[in-house]
Amino acid sequence: MSVKPNPFTIAQHQLDDAAAILGLSPAMHAFLRMPMRELHVSIPVQMDDGTYQTFQGFRVQYNDARGPAKGGIRFHPDETIDTVRALSAWMTWKTAVVDIPLGGGKGGIICDPKSLSRGELERLSRGYMRRVAHFIGADKDVPAPDVNTTPEIMTWMLDEYEVITGRHLPGVITGKPVHMFGSLGRGDATARGGIYTVREAAKLIGLDLQNASVAIQGFGNVGGWAAKLSHQMGMKVVAVSDISGAFYDPAGLDIPAIAAHVDQNPRHLIEGYTAAGMKPITNAELLELPVDLLFPAALENVITADNADRIQAKIVAELANGPTTPEADQVLFKKGIYIIPDFLCNAGGVTVSYFEQVQNAYNFYWPIEEVQTRLEAKMTTAFRAVHEMAQVHNVHNRLAAYLVSVQRVADAVAARGWVK
- Contacting residue, 121, 129, 144, 240, with ligand GLU by CB under 6 A: 144
Q: Is 72 in the site for ligand GLU (CB under 6 A)?
A: yes
The closest of 158, 139, 147, 69 to 108, measured between CA atoms, is 147
Helix axes 7-22, 326-335, angle to 10 degrees: 60
Nearest-angstrom CA–CA distance, 178 and 181? 6
**Dihedral-angle region of residue 63 (phi above 0 means left; psi in -120 to 50 means alpha; beta otherwise):** beta
What is the chain's alpha carbon radius of gyration, rounded to the nearest angstrom? 20
CB of 220 to ligand GLU, least distance (A): 11
Of 57, 71, 104, 151, which one interacts with ligand GLU (CB under 6 A)?
Answer: 71
Residue 350 binds ligand GLU, judged by CB under 6 A: yes
**Strand ranges, E, within 161-231:** 213-217
Closer Cβ to ligand GLU, 353 or 359, answer by number: 353
Would you count residue 146 as binding ligand GLU (CB under 6 A)? yes
Q: What is the Cα–Cα distance from 63 to 390, expressed in whole angstroms?
A: 25
Q: Which of 70, 106, 176, 236 is catalytic?
A: 106
Q: Does 150 help bind ligand GLU (rule: CB under 6 A)?
A: no
Point out which residues pair with 53 in neighbouring strands: 45
**Which residues of 122-228 form beta strands (DSSP E)?**
141-142, 213-217
106 is catalytic: yes
Nearer to ligand GLU, 70 or 123 (CB): 70
CB of 23 to ligand GLU, least distance (A): 29
Among 63, 148, 155, 321, binds ligand GLU (CB under 6 A): 321
User: Is residue 349 involved in binding ligand GLU (CB under 6 A)?
Assistant: yes
Task: Determine, following the binding rule CB under 6 A, whether residue 174 of this chain makes contact with ligand GLU.
Answer: yes
CB of 61 to ligand GLU, least distance (A): 13
Q: What is the spatial distance between Cα 2 and Cα 325, in angstroms, rounded to a whole number? A: 12
**Site membership for ligand GLU, residue 194 (CB under 6 A):** no
Q: What share of the chain is helix, strand, coil (3-state, %, to 5)?
A: 50, 15, 35
Residues labelled as active-site residues: 106
Point out which residues bind ligand GLU (CB under 6 A): 70-72, 94, 144, 146, 174-175, 321, 346, 349-350, 353
